[in-house]
Amino acid sequence: MEINPIEGAIKNMLPLWGNQQVEDFERIINKAMEEKDKDKLMEACKQLEANFISLMLKEMRKTIPEDPLTGNNLANDIFTSMLYDKYAELMAQSGGFGLAEEIYNQLSKKV
């Protein structure tokens, strides 16, 4: 899959993430490209993958029935959301999905 141009690929994420988050990714990636810093570019790609995985885990969580022991309360929701964010971060850092590497391979051609 070819990611071209950068702006188009990032703007396509608007329905999934908030406008501010998309602008942050766009700024980080463009800065890494301008500075020709491949380490920053890889880190931005991993952050993007982590956010994708987090979104996927949260959508999957919606299919799990309510826990009869703890119920569905605000504290449980906050804890679970933070836990899933950490899971997503760890999954992205381990490289198990490979999404960050694919994005990096496409974008690093332009560095």
Residue 7 is predicted with a pLDDT of: 53
pLDDT band at 108 (very low <50, low <70, confident <90, very high): confident
Q: How many domains does the chain have?
A: 1
> 21: Cβ–Cβ under 8 A, 6 or more apart, which residues?
51
**Is 104 part of a structural domain of the chain?**
yes
| More confident: 82 or 77 | 82
Residue 22 has pLDDT above 60, yes or no: yes
- Structural domain boundaries enclosing 89: 6-108
Looking at the domain assignment, is residue 12 inside a domain? yes
Q: What was the pLDDT predicted at 16?
A: 57
Binning pLDDT at 50, 70 and 90, where does residue 8 land? low
Look at residue 1 and tell me if it is in a domain. no
CA separation for the pair 42, 66 (Å, rounded)? 38
Burial 9-47 (b: 16+ CB within 10 A, else e): bbeebeeebeeeebeebbebbeebbeeeeeeebbbbbbb
Tell me, what's the pLDDT at 86? 92
Residue 90 lies in a domain: yes
